[in-house]
Structure 1
Amino acid sequence: MTHPFYTIHTHGLIRVAAATPRASVGDTAANAAATIALATQADAQHIDLVVFPELNLTSYALDDLHLQTAQQRATLAAIDSVVAASVTLRPVLLVGAALVRAGRLYNCAVVIARGRVLGVVPKTFLPNYREFYEKRWFASGAGLTGLSIDLGSESVPFGTDLIFAASDLPGLVVHAEICEDYWAPTPPSTAGALAGALICCNLSASNIVIGKAREREMLAAAQSARAVCAYVYSAAGPGESTTEVAWDGQGLIHELGEQLAQSRRFATEPDLVVADVDCERIAQERLRTGTFNDAAAFAGHPETRVRRIAFDHLTNPAVADVGLERVVPRFPFVPNDPARRDEDCYEAFNIQVEALAKRLEAARARTLVIGVSGGLDSTHALIVAAKAMDRLGRPRADILGFTMPGFATGEGTKANAWALMRALGITAEEIDIRPAARRMLEDMRHPFADGAPTYDITFENVQAGLRTDYLFRLANQRGGIVVGTGDLSEMALGWCTYGVGDQMSHYAVNAGVPKTLIQFLIRWCIRTGQYDAATDAILSTIVAQEISPELVPAGADGALQSTESMIGPYALNDFFAHYVIRYGLAPSKIAFLAWHAWRDAESGAWPADLPATARVAYDLSTITAWLERFLQRFFATSQFKRSALPNGPKVSGGGALSPRGDWRAPSDGTARVWIDELRSAVPQAEPGHLA
């Protein structure tokens, strides 16, 4: 036994598997034994649902042998064997069998759990083209609803109107369709999902030809995205008859368009491909997608026309940590796959460039005005501005870059700012704000003006505010617009001064880009040669330096003011922001996912070119401490700043924080609901669960 926090079911995760048993050519006893063996293995792996291939008990490629009485009776015996074995097994089993009802033979999915058949779903669409001749043997299940079928002494629900829902495990709501059903323009799983099924399953035979594996992946990804569901697909593997065709045994698990797992194809040994699907995430996505609700209405609300077959799943609801069968990216805004990451970086960068170019044209501005600190955000805003000018065929000299050293500006960052401006060929100037800041502090009777080293929020914001005052007045003077530098991470945390350059501008070009993505975007610019070698060298230096606002002088030890020591690591904060903004997950669930991603130096998933210094570990107590701080800042203290955001482009599908876009919230809200949930659901540090 362990704390419920560590169990997948606590967080709406359901463990599913696509099974590839060793097939046979009509040996139903062997098929039943292979099915039971994999079901037993699945039980040992704490799997909740196993999907087998089409007709896996009967065998698929039997041709006219499907119409033999002996074969039909042997299939019933195979079902009985699996049902008997399932009494003590955890998983719900979806097995394939050819069954006779009312003088017709149907290609069926048989749903078995804990020693009983819950229901039988006949195949709707029967392929009868090229190598397929299913209409020669089978009848379609189209239109068959509200019926039953006799299996031995039992009468069980039969029809295409069935979904199966665990009464004791929210999320385990299952729909079954068979092979050709999801090649059809109107897959039955669409209606199943609209009726409430969260996990749609496909029992498939699907012989293999060149390119078909890619087609299956495309269909499974598309259906899981379109129907807002998880999709589990299992194709027949080696052992089926190769008289005319061959088999590869492809198993796929997708969730909301994303592939979670795929089996080994052409494997000679039986296989289970396993993943934990996030049914809470699916349910939340449906709440956010009005089109899903409209589709249900246009379809006549399928939930009013289905039979929801209830069953008890957790007969022994022991609380156990069974791990997590799911890759949790440490950087959810940054793909781990290098090719996909390059595609995303290309799109993100060009979204920003296109957006800024359009705003420059629409404003009929002669110049772009930007404060260049030598830090990460202003650097990225500046290189975007340079590309925008290039795209418009305008000289980069129309970009007016100002470095404005204050009381704590480091020589290194100031030098970087100058070097970058020169390398890009913009018009560069320096305005020392210290005399004006000192005068303002004197007028305010601030202790610093009398020589006392008082580095409070007023001391910091006098500098930040003056920089913004200069930029706006310079833009007035020189016919320009001020380019904002603040990023999505700062907007989420409220780590910006109200009314100054990282919160207020004429156009907030970085507002849709989180800090972690900005770092990778700059690296992408270097790697893909967006600028010249001199610029690349400066960008490399900037992206490697510690993030600091440089508003307070270095301490006696020479250490600079560190942003992340005050608000937490940006990598963690971006992780939290992604799951709060995009999916609305409970804080305890976010902590659970973060713990799996960060609990040791090797956990989670990260891009291969991530610097070794970023491959760190955080224990649960550290994660929850920073998460609580994030929740307080996000929900209670920062919304008023986001409510006044200037225009800026949405960049990431993970969400944006503009009040005119993805995020609308009251400026006077409270974080209590989220913090209470976190504190009540997450345990104190327990031995064996910390890095």
Structure 2
Amino acid sequence: MTDRLTIALAQLNQRVGDLDGNVAAMLEWRGKARGADLIVVPELQLTGYPPEDLVLKREFVRRAMEASERLIDSTADGGPALLFGSLHHEEGRDYNAVLLADGGKLVARRLKHELPNYGTFDEKRVFASGPLPDPVEWRGVKLGIPICEDIWLEAVCAHLAKSGAELLLVTNGSPYELDKDDLRQRLVRQRVVETGLPLAYVNRVGGQDELVFDGSSFVVNDDGEIAVQMPDWDEALWLTEWERTANGWRCATSRHHRLSPFPEDIYLAMVVGLRDYVVRNRFPGVILGLSGGIDSALSAAVAVDALGPDKVWGVMLPSKYTSDTSLEDAAENARLLGCRHDVIPIVPAVGALDRMLDDPQGLTAENIQARLRMVTLMALSNAHGHMLLTTGNKSEMSVGYATLYGDMAGGYSVLKDAYKTTVFALARWRNANKPAALLGPDGPVMPQRIIDKPPTAELRPNQKDEDSLPPYPLLDRILEALVEHEQSVAEAAAATGAAEALVADIEKKLLRAEYKRRQTPPGVKIGPRNFGRDRRYPITNAFHTGD
């Protein structure tokens, strides 16, 4: 009977659909796990997560299963056993599976039982549910191997404990959102208390479209204490020592990494999400309108920190309403970041449209400016290959305070799920802090004046955002009540202290802007209800809760 085990926990990045690349990466990390008996990698590490409708393509499933066989064969070299996530097709059904390979053979295969079908998840669309999994007998130890959602409900862990499992190894593809660390740890402690079994939680890192994965893998012993806390945002492999005691198996390793607090965690989520999106879609860099405002300044800072200053191109596109202050702030912003900065006035193009349309006025004239900026930036993007980065925030997108085919256009939106108050918090934080792994400069990355001055679109004389919107601290509280908490107008007014008439007006703006948001680019998910996967409202919708 085995009394000691060395288990390597590997929180890895991945690329959806890159079967050969993901296999090579797993083998590389397995080679680093010298001395381990077993290496554990995240859920669906071979295919990437989430694979979405790639699973409906038969050739993808066939090649994934062939790649699984290559991984199994690779363990014949006498190195550590490998516990990895992949697809499995059987009797006309596709499963989210985890495979244990050792000595060149498949020791066991377990199929995911609980399939998430809420928020960002729609696994029931492509996967069948497996039976309740039994423990896996391996080297004299009974391993319980739930897969991610299997531990969010009681049934799987309870069944494994009742069936004799001695420890739980959980592979995960759990996306980041605010306060997710605390939620995961509370959940795992609950399962540990219920089963009396220690649990190792292995999660992936990296960006995949709108999702970003933070890693933050950890181990909880049977007494509920966290024995191991791996880092967030970085790939890592940690060896953990396990021993059989009179009370069962226990992780004897004690090692802890500090997790990123707010708002550092949000900032790093943005950096990782943008980096992997740009690099994996093979853009040489990004271009954005650098207006001298806080949204573009923060977007540029994230881009420089993610990609490096040589891959970020800021363009100031002044109109006749652009102030000298904005021109100065944009230039200083670019200087602090070390990125390219050009000034291309749109005044001649505005004049041409004025003549074409017989001197348009009001909102039409304002939107023409925003759309001409987009046309200019997209022309530069087409000419040089850089992806256009959109700079709007969630507060603006919520109420439609943005121009369709203007400032809403682009390839990716860093601030898509960040309210304006969060934008201010992130800007202040980054001006005072810089984690070592970021590629941008030390010290401030934007002039303090950008943070201090009232937000304005500068599309008409003396314009301020608060001419059209409530103060952002109040607006954001109202939006959080309506969007994140799905409260009625009366409930949101009571929760925020705002007048019901104001909340009703915000709700109307929120619902009317749905058609605009459907046409926005992807962006990093931060909170529990991002526009897109999490919140799927009908565009044509007659229901509202206000008068």
Instruction: Tell me, in whole angstroms, the C-alpha distance in 2 between the residues paired with 1:442 and 1:641.
Output: 28
Residue in structure 1 matched with residue 392 of structure 2 by the alignment:
486
Residue in structure 2 matched with residue 318 of structure 1 by the alignment:
none
Which residue of 649, 656, 664 maps to 2:524?
649
Instruction: Tell me, in whole angstroms, the C-alpha distance in 2 between the residues paired with 1:492 and 1:545.
Output: 22
Instruction: Tell me, in whole angstroms, the C-alpha distance in 2 between the residues paired with 1:435 and 1:369.
Output: 22
The alignment's C-alpha RMSD in Å is 2.8
Residue in structure 2 matched with residue 631 of structure 1 by the alignment:
507
Retained in 1: the 8 A contact 2:482–2:507? no
Instruction: Tell me, in whole angstroms, the C-alpha distance in 2 between the residues paired with 1:543 and 1:486.
Output: 16
Residue in structure 1 matched with residue 31 of structure 2 by the alignment:
none
**CA shift in 2, pair 1:665/1:414, >3 Å:** same
Instruction: Tell me, in whole angstroms, the C-alpha distance in 1 between the residues paired with 2:280 and 2:491.
Output: 44
**CA shift in 2, pair 1:586/1:425, >3 Å:** same
Residue in structure 2 matched with residue 477 of structure 1 by the alignment:
383
**CA shift in 2, pair 1:444/1:548, >3 Å:** same
Q: CA deviation at 1:626?
A: 2.4
**Corresponding residue SS for 1:387:** helix
Which residue of 276, 286, 296 maps to 1:358?
276
Equivalences for 1:499-514 in 2 at 5 Å?
Answer: 499-501=405-407, 503-514=408-419
Which residue of 463, 471, 474 maps to 1:569?
471
Retained in 2: the 8 A contact 1:579–1:590? yes
Q: Deviations over 1:210-266 (max 9, x none)?
A: xxxxxxxx9999379979xxxxxxxxxxxxxxxxxxxxxxxxxxxxxxxxxxxxxxx
Q: CA deviation at 1:512?
A: 1.3
**CA shift in 2, pair 1:407/1:190, >3 Å:** same
Retained in 2: the 8 A contact 1:349–1:384? yes
Retained in 2: the 8 A contact 1:464–1:497? yes
**CA shift in 2, pair 1:664/1:418, >3 Å:** same
Which residue of 420, 428, 444 maps to 2:333?
420
Q: Does 1:378 align with 2:283?
A: no
Instruction: Tell me, in whole angstroms, the C-alpha distance in 2 between the residues paired with 1:442 and 1:226.
Output: 68
Q: Deviations over 1:635-666 (max 9, x none)?
A: 1x20001111211110123x2112xx111111
Residue in structure 1 matched with residue 482 of structure 2 by the alignment:
580
Q: Does 1:543 align with 2:451?
A: yes
Q: CA deviation at 1:382?
A: 0.2
Q: CA deviation at 1:363?
A: 2.2
Q: CA deviation at 1:586?
A: 1.9
The share of aligned pairs that are identical, in percent, is 24
**CA shift in 2, pair 1:226/1:630, >3 Å:** farther
In structure 1, runs of 5+ residues without a counterpart are 1-188, 192-217, 228-339, 391-395, 448-453, 554-559, 596-619, 677-691
Retained in 2: the 8 A contact 1:342–1:524? no
Retained in 1: the 8 A contact 2:481–2:495? no
**CA shift in 2, pair 1:222/1:364, >3 Å:** closer
Which residue type is aligned with residue 186 of structure 2? A
**Corresponding residue SS for 1:585:** coil
Equivalences for 1:30-429 in 2 at 5 Å?
Answer: 222=186, 343-390=261-308, 396-429=309-342
**Corresponding residue SS for 2:468:** helix
Q: CA deviation at 1:535?
A: 3.4
Q: CA deviation at 1:529?
A: 4.2
Residue in structure 2 matched with residue 518 of structure 1 by the alignment:
423
Q: Deviations over 1:43-82 (max 9, x none)?
A: xxxxxxxxxxxxxxxxxxxxxxxxxxxxxxxxxxxxxxxx
Residue in structure 1 matched with residue 493 of structure 2 by the alignment:
591
Q: Does 1:675 align with 2:546?
A: yes
TM-score (norm 2): 0.51
Q: CA deviation at 1:424?
A: 1.1
Instruction: Tell me, in whole angstroms, the C-alpha distance in 2 between the residues paired with 1:567 and 1:371.
Output: 23
Q: CA deviation at 1:480?
A: 1.0
Instruction: Tell me, in whole angstroms, the C-alpha distance in 1 between the residues paired with 2:282 and 2:517.
Output: 27
**CA shift in 2, pair 1:648/1:547, >3 Å:** same
Shift >3 Å, 4+ stretches: 218-227, 529-536
Q: Deviations over 1:425-451 (max 9, x none)?
A: 11111100011111111111125xxxx
Residue in structure 2 matched with residue 442 of structure 1 by the alignment:
355
Which residue of 640, 661, 667 maps to 2:515?
640
**CA shift in 2, pair 1:632/1:226, >3 Å:** farther
Which residue type is aligned with residue 480 of structure 2? H
Instruction: Tell me, in whole angstroms, the C-alpha distance in 2 between the residues paired with 1:366 and 1:342.
Output: 29
Which residue type is aligned with residue 413 of structure 1? S
Instruction: Tell me, in whole angstroms, the C-alpha distance in 2 between the residues paired with 1:519 and 1:342.
Output: 18
Instruction: Tell me, in whole angstroms, the C-alpha distance in 2 between the residues paired with 1:406 and 1:541.
Output: 21
Residue in structure 1 matched with residue 227 of structure 2 by the alignment:
none
Instruction: Tell me, in whole angstroms, the C-alpha distance in 2 between the residues paired with 1:384 and 1:529.
Output: 11
Q: Deviations over 1:587-631 (max 9, x none)?
A: 211111112xxxxxxxxxxxxxxxxxxxxxxxx5xx333212211
**CA shift in 2, pair 1:219/1:624, >3 Å:** closer
Instruction: Tell me, in whole angstroms, the C-alpha distance in 1 between the residues paired with 2:184 and 2:272.
Output: 33
Instruction: Tell me, in whole angstroms, the C-alpha distance in 1 between the residues paired with 2:378 and 2:264.
Output: 31
Retained in 1: the 8 A contact 2:275–2:307? yes
Q: Deviations over 1:484-532 (max 9, x none)?
A: 101111111111111122x221111110111110100011112224665
Instruction: Tell me, in whole angstroms, the C-alpha distance in 2 between the residues paired with 1:583 and 1:225.
Output: 26
Instruction: Tell me, in whole angstroms, the C-alpha distance in 1 between the residues paired with 2:464 and 2:341.
Output: 27
Retained in 2: the 8 A contact 1:420–1:535? no
Which residue type is aligned with residue 457 of structure 1? L
Q: Deviations over 1:190-221 (max 9, x none)?
A: 89xxxxxxxxxxxxxxxxxxxxxxxxxx9999
**Corresponding residue SS for 1:675:** coil
Q: CA deviation at 1:582?
A: 1.8
Instruction: Tell me, in whole angstroms, the C-alpha distance in 2 between the residues paired with 1:429 and 1:584.
Output: 43
Residue in structure 2 matched with residue 21 of structure 1 by the alignment:
none
Retained in 2: the 8 A contact 1:408–1:551? yes
Residue in structure 2 matched with residue 49 of structure 1 by the alignment:
none
Instruction: Tell me, in whole angstroms, the C-alpha distance in 2 between the residues paired with 1:364 and 1:571.
Output: 38
Instruction: Tell me, in whole angstroms, the C-alpha distance in 1 between the residues paired with 2:328 and 2:281.
Output: 32
**CA shift in 2, pair 1:640/1:529, >3 Å:** same
In structure 2, runs of 5+ residues without a counterpart are 1-152, 156-181, 192-257
Retained in 1: the 8 A contact 2:457–2:464? yes
Residue in structure 2 matched with residue 329 of structure 1 by the alignment:
none
Q: Which has the larger radius of gyration?
A: 1
Residue in structure 1 matched with residue 135 of structure 2 by the alignment:
none
Retained in 1: the 8 A contact 2:434–2:443? no
Retained in 2: the 8 A contact 1:377–1:518? yes
Q: How many correspondences in the alignment?
A: 299
Which residue type is aligned with residue 546 of structure 1? P
**CA shift in 2, pair 1:219/1:419, >3 Å:** closer
Q: Does 1:461 align with 2:367?
A: yes
Residue in structure 1 matched with residue 70 of structure 2 by the alignment:
none
